[in-house]
Chains A and B, each alone.
Chain A
Amino acid sequence: MFSRRMVNSAIVAGVLALAAGGWKMHHHPPPREVPTGGPTGELDSATLAALMAVARTLTERDVLKGHYADYYAYQAKNRPGYLGVYRAFVAALAAEIAPGALEDFGRKTVAERWSVLERIGSSSASRRFDVPIIQETLAVFMRTDAWLLLGYEDWPGMARGLENYTKPLPERARS
């Protein structure tokens, strides 16, 4: 199962959860389940909004500059099975929060969102979400926003021009 228990309960909440670093790993890596079959298609705005809220939760960033939304849309459109998994995940998300309150998920605190994700991850059926939701979102982070946090002005894949790379990077705090 992809889920791992938070060190701290969701009720004790945010600060402690963030300090613990997020998801807790199993002692043995769970088997990877990658969507392999199913329809492809366009993501609806509600599903996309929920996925983006998940991305902000996982990366612990309020503002994301990376192309997470385009990534999700691309996988849904081009890779069989992703559309269904995204929808199933958002349905699981909706089931964990107050009925009809999915649209409010993105407005919850990080700690509250972590708590919801943890509850989803605790279910035995959640293994299918580990790769396409959790790990891939973090992979997009590592290819985009993480570069900015490491001190770069941009990341490979962007049209970066032919001048900046010949100059030193501006000094700024690297978090």
Chain B
Amino acid sequence: MTRVAIVGSGITGTTLAWHLVKAGCQVDMFENGPEVPYPHSPQFEAEVLYANQYAPPTPIFPPPLPLDIKNVSQTGDYAGDLQQERIMCVGGQATRWFAMTPRIGTEHFRSFSLYGFGRDWPISYEDLESYYSRAEAHIGVSGQADNPFAPRRASPFPLPAFALSYQDRMFAEKLKARGIVTHTTPQARAREDYDGRPGCQNFGECGRCPVGARYSPNHHLELLRGSERFALHPNCLVRRIIVENGKGVGVTYHPEHGARQLEHPADVVIVAAGAIETARLLLLSKATGIHSDGLGNASGQVGRNFGMHHVWWNELSFPKPVMPGRAGPPTLLSHQFTLPEKDGGGGGMTVEMFDGVPQGTVLAAGRRQYVSGKASLEALRPFISKRALTVNAETIPSDDKYVALGDKRDRFGDPFAAVTYKLNDFDRATYQRAQRLAGRFGAALGAESLSPGPIEQFWSAHHHLGTCRMGDSLHDSVTDSFGALHETSGVYICGGAAFPTVTPLQPTLTMVALAIRSADRIAEQLAG
């Protein structure tokens, strides 16, 4: 039986495992973090229902890993905390996500050819369309084809869309009157019972779903546990990819983060550990010859082209209550501006009317001191007349955006990753465009004021991408379009690490689609 080792149990690794087990492979999955309960009701209780904004911000879900097991250093312009953003547990980042699942538009696969920036992908939308459909079915996407800016689709969404909220319907009309087109949000949140998952009950906090209506990789991992061809190894730090005669033949790892190091032989090694840890593992897996600077790094590409989304939050204030927070966070959005402006006017972006009264807003209010319920109520009252308007902007790589090995070391003496991230001129132009758009939305909606998010307060949305980009050539990329390393057989890099560009669209559905495509390819090659 063919043996596959997968490093990382997030949505990409789990999708690969699911399809490869179905194809008859023996899959061993290695995860640095611990097991977490599924459905994620303990997470919901800790972070939403009984959230304690005064207690130290140590996450309960998942329990924090020791700093000599999980660590990263960062320099540059990003104010977010990459250490906190990287959720290491069984299920990975998608144990905590809003599950917005658009497809990447046709043009975004060809940004360099069409617009002169970024890079063309070695794959087209047409190549990926059928895999998008399979990905939507795999994770249960609810949606409807009401987005005129979405690429052509050959099949309907597997689940019906979530209706716009009452307020968003009125907003949509106002925006339409001013030439702004909006539509519903495709989301991996089950509109009705699906694949053993319950339909959504609108707890209002999709990022932490207590019932499993919002997709989590743990759904499929629970199903995989019943298979004799699948083994999950939590709390295992993978230190090296073993290469012999130009072929990946296994991994070395430390079970339970202990001193004992073991080797796990495999016919195929897949690394799906996120952009930062994937680059780190390749850089650590040095060997002789072309691997002297790290595996897959003969041309020095590993760690370069790191990218993140830039999400800016703007706050719109209205003269009358708009009563936010009645639906799940994303309801109304616009993909009208996902293509870049001409003449250097900035990159593309999605614009989202975030309906959830952000927990952070309420929690921030609660962090002040109050003297009574009456005073607390009055402090909260302004929020019913506000809405968050977020823009999710594309970014392009530059020499000041990269992942390397740093000075901090783990308990085994290996250096942790060090991230450098500095804004470039493209990013600044994109921010200016974002502000123009926010003002246009605010005016169309009749807002009486707009509080813009400053440029330095961009948020990555935990979308860490690039570092091992796919391409056609060994000289300027790390993998082919299936994730196979150019210079070594039997080793695949899957997930966000292989993205050549950071488009304005949320990346997760594309990661799942690419994973299914890679799984098909790997199974086909192993069978042949």
Contact = CB atoms under 8 A, between A and B. Distances in A.
B365 interface: yes
A4 B371 CA distance: 9
A61 B373 CA distance: 8
Interface of A: 4, 21-25, 29, 32, 34, 36, 58-61, 67, 70-71, 74-75, 78-79, 131-132, 135-136, 138-139, 141-143, 145-147, 149-152, 155-162, 164-169, 175
Contacts of B169: 166
B205 interface: yes
B187 to A, nearest CB: 13
Interface in B44-91: 45-46, 48-56, 60
Interface residues of B, number: 50
A141 B56 CA distance: 21
A156 B371 CA distance: 24
25 contacts: A4-B371, A21-B371, A58-B373, A70-B50, A135-B54, A136-B54, A138-B366, A138-B373, A139-B53, A139-B363, A141-B376, A145-B373, A146-B373, A155-B204, A155-B325, A159-B201, A160-B201, A160-B202, A161-B202, A162-B201, A162-B202, A165-B166, A165-B327, A166-B163, A169-B166
A145 B375 CA distance: 13
B54 A142 contact: no
Contact of B166 (A24, A136, A168): A168
A135 B376 CA distance: 10
Contacts of A165: 165-166, 202, 326-327
B149 interface: no
Interface of B: 45-46, 48-56, 60, 162-166, 169, 191, 200-205, 321, 323, 325-327, 356-357, 359, 362-363, 365-366, 369-377, 379-381, 384
Contacts of B366: 135, 138-139, 142-143
B163 to A, nearest CB: 5
Given A156-B357, A164-B326, A59 B373 contact: yes
A60 B373 contact: yes
Given A139-B53, A152-B323, A156-B325, A29 B369 contact: yes
Contact of A75 (B52, B202, B369, B372): B52
Contacts of B371: 4, 21-25
Nearest to B359: A156
B118 to A, nearest CB: 38
B387 to A, nearest CB: 14
B384 A21 contact: no
A141 B373 contact: yes
A23 B55 CA distance: 22
A158 B203 contact: yes
Contacts of A159: 201-203
Chain A CB count within 10 A is highest, among B52, B60, B200, B204, for B52
B283 to A, nearest CB: 38
Given A162-B162, A166-B164, 12 more contacts: A25-B369, A74-B45, A135-B370, A136-B54, A138-B370, A142-B365, A145-B373, A150-B384, A156-B204, A162-B163, A166-B163, A169-B323
B362 A142 contact: yes
Contacts of B51: 143
A156 B208 CA distance: 12
Given A4-B371, A142-B376, A150-B380, A162 B166 contact: no
A2 to B, nearest CB: 9
A157 B348 CA distance: 34
Given A4-B371, A157-B205, A79 B166 contact: no
Given A21-B372, A135-B370, A138-B376, A143 B362 contact: yes
